[in-house]
């Protein structure tokens, strides 16, 4: 599949590397075509890179791995026409680091980053996924032993299914993929990032995840 990964940070590069290893044609998107993190990633992985618009135009599926507070700006640069009708998997978190660490959570007016994106790009098929864990665990769930979950939500059931299929190829089992239904569920999953930070500081590792017992 042709996949655009928008974001040249650790998350975008990790997801992009995994997707290339699975045989996808990945284009990593950035504000600039010559971003060194992106060109280095392309040389290392055999993937392509370009601007946000180049990547989004090339992708059949879009992954948003930009900062949650700049995601609408990044996606605007990607171009609404390049997002229309496509599954847009949003892994962002709305964190404000301006006051230092730990960051504060910003609740966007729409209720969550994912809903903010959906509102700005109504023709995109937004699915929130993966943002409640570290990027290494996103693409290799076996790093965490035992039962643990990945949450997905979105208003388009077929887009959630496309996302779940991709997650299965990452190694997520069906019993780990918790489909929470509508995109408004992101109002609950995005704030988990603050708990994640506290737990990480306490247990001293990023190789952990949330598990739902019921
Ligand atoms: N770190 C993790 O393991 C983890 C886990 C779960 C969720 N997340 C979330 O995943 C997302 C990506 O995290 P990250 O640490 O990999 O990267 P990041 O530093 O949060 O974001 C990097 C990307 O944001 C773009 N960007 C920065 N300012 C921008 C602006 N004003 N307008 C448009 N684009 C802008 C950058 O563009 P350029 O390429 O041009 O520099 C870059 O591509 C974040 O939302 C984060 O909260 C992270």
The pLDDT of residue 64: 99
Find the 95 Cα to ligand 1 centroid distance in Å: 10
The pLDDT of residue 213: 97
Interatomic CA distance for residues 38 and 140, integer angstroms: 22
Number of domains observed in the structure of the chain: 1
Full domain range(s) for residue 53: 2-203
Instruction: Kindly report, residue by residue over 84-128, the tens digit of the pLDDT.
Output: 999 999 999 999 999 999 999 999 999 999 999 999 999 999 999
CATH number of the domain at 187, please.
3.40.50.720
Find the 8 Cα to ligand 1 centroid distance in Å: 7
Q: Note whether residue 209 is domain-resident.
A: no
The pLDDT of residue 167: 99
Closest residue CA from atom 36 of ligand 1: 7
CB 194 within 8 A of CB 68: no
Find the 1 Cα to ligand 1 centroid distance in Å: 23
Q: What residues contact 203, with CB distance under 8 A and at least 6 apart?
A: none
Q: Note whether residue 208 is domain-resident.
A: no
Residue 92 CA: nearest ligand 1 atom is 45
- What is the dihedral sign for C-alpha 143, 152, 53, 21? positive
Residue 44's nearest CA partner among 24, 65, 20, 75 is 20
Instruction: Kindly report, residue by residue over 7-22, the tens digit of the pLDDT.
Output: 999 999 999 999 999 9
Taking CB atoms and a 6 Å cutoff, what residues make up the pocket around ligand 1?
A: 7-12, 30-32, 35, 65-68, 70, 73-74, 91-93, 95, 131, 134-135
**Side-chain half-sphere CA neighbours of 16 within 13 A:** 33
pLDDT < 50 positions in the chain: none
Q: What residues contact 131, with CB distance under 8 A and at least 6 apart?
A: 90, 91, 92, 93, 189, 190, 193
Interatomic CA distance for residues 157 and 167, integer angstroms: 15
């Amino acid at each position: 599949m042709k996949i655009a990964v928008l974001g040249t940070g650790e998350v975008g590069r990790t997801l992009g590397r995994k997707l290339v290893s699975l045989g996808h044609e990945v284009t990593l998107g950035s504000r600039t075509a010559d971003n060194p993190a992106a060109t280095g990633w392309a040389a290392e992985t055999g993937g392509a890179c370009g601007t946000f618009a180049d990547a989004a135009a090339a992708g059949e599926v879009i992954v948003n791995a930009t900062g949650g507070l700049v995601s609408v700006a990044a996606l605007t640069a990607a171009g609404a026409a390049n997002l229309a009708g496509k599954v847009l998997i949003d892994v962002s978190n709305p964190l404000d680091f301006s006051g230092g660490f730990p960051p504060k959570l910003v609740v966007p007016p729409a209720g969550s980053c994912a809903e903010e994106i959906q509102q700005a790009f109504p023709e995109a098929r937004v699915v929130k996924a993966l943002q409640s864990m570290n990027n290494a665990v996103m693409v290799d769930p076996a790093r965490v032993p035992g039962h643990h979950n990945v949450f997905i939500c979105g208003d388009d059931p077929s887009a959630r299914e496309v996302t779940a299929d991709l997650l299965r190829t990452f190694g997520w089992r069906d019993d780990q993929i918790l489909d929470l239904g509508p995109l408004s569920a992101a109002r609950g999953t995005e704030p988990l990032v603050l708990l994640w930070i506290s737990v990480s500081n306490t247990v001293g590792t990023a190789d952990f995840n949330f598990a739902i017992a019921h």
